[in-house]
Amino acid sequence: MRMITKAWFLAMLFSISLTPALAMTFGEARVDNTFVVSGLPQDAVVQFVLNGGVPVFAAVNASRTAQYLPLIEGNLDIVVVQNNIVIERKSITVLPAPTSGSTGTGSGGSSGSGGGGGVITVEPLANIAKSETKEGSLTAGKPVAFTFISPEFAIHQILITGKDNENNVTVRVESLKNTSKLVSRAAPGTVYVNTNVWVNSMKITGVTLKFRVTNAWITGSNVQKENIKLFRWSDNDWKALNTTVLTRDDTYSYFEAQSAGLSSFAVSAMKEGQVPVVTTQPSITAATPATNASTPGKKPTPGFGMLVAVMAISAIYLLRRRDG
Residues 170-188: what's their mean pLDDT?
A: 92
The per-residue pLDDT for range 151-175, each reduced to its tens digit, is 889 999 999 999 999 998 889 999 9
Residue 136: the pLDDT is 92
User: Of all residues in the chain, what percent carry a pLDDT higher than 70?
Assistant: 69
Q: How far is CA 103 from CA 6, 94, 246, 285, 295, in A?
A: 55, 15, 64, 42, 34
Confidence of residue 324 (pLDDT cuts 50, 70, 90): low
Q: How far is CA 213 from CA 79, 190, 196, 197, 223, in A?
A: 33, 13, 17, 18, 12
Residue 197 has pLDDT above 80, yes or no: yes
Q: How far apart are CA 242 and CA 278, in angstroms?
A: 6
* Torsion angle (degrees, nearest 10) of CA 255, 195, 301, 284: 0
In one-letter notation, the amino acid at residue 260 is A
Chain centre distance of CA 219: 34
What average pLDDT does the chain have? 75
Residue 300: the pLDDT is 45
**CATH class of the region 21-113:** mainly beta
The per-residue pLDDT for range 55-101, each reduced to its tens digit, is 778 778 877 888 888 878 788 888 888 776 778 888 888 888 765 43
Q: Where in the chain do CATH 2.60.40 domains reside?
A: 21-113
Residue 320: the pLDDT is 52
In one-letter notation, the amino acid at residue 304 is F
Q: How far is CA 89 from CA 133, 263, 293, 308, in A?
A: 20, 17, 9, 28
Residues 122-151: what's their mean pLDDT?
A: 91
Contact between 29 and 92 under an 8 Å Cβ cutoff? The reply is yes
Residues 90-113: what's their mean pLDDT?
A: 52
Q: How far apart are CA 240 and CA 255, in angstroms?
A: 14
Contact between 262 and 204 under an 8 Å Cβ cutoff? The reply is yes
Q: How far apart are the first and last CA of the chain?
A: 7
Contact between 182 and 122 under an 8 Å Cβ cutoff? The reply is yes
Q: How far apart are CA 180 and CA 197, in angstroms?
A: 11
Confidence of residue 38 (pLDDT cuts 50, 70, 90): confident
Q: Give me the DSSP letters along 233-293.
A: EETTEEEEEEEEEEEE-SSEEEEEEEESS-SEEEEEEPPTT-PPPEESS--GGGGPPPBSS
Q: Which has the minimum average pLDDT: 61-70, 139-148, 211-220? A: 61-70
Residue 129: the pLDDT is 93
Residue 51: the pLDDT is 80
Secondary structure of the chain: what % helix, strand, coil (to 5)? 15, 45, 45
Q: How far apart are CA 46 and CA 88, in angstroms?
A: 10
Q: How far apart are CA 243 and CA 225, in angstroms?
A: 10
Residue 220 has pLDDT above 90, yes or no: yes
Q: Where in the chain do CATH 2.60.220 domains reside?
A: 125-287
Q: Which of 85-94, 207-216, 274-283 has the highest mean predicted lDDT (pLDDT)?
A: 207-216
Q: How far apart are CA 135 and CA 315, in angstroms?
A: 51
**CATH class of the region 125-287:** mainly beta
The secondary structure of 84-122, three-state, reads CEEEEEEEEEEECCCCCCCCCCCCCCECCCCCCCCECCC
The per-residue pLDDT for range 131-140, each reduced to its tens digit, is 999 999 999 9
Q: Residue 223, SS3?
A: coil
Residue 23: the pLDDT is 64
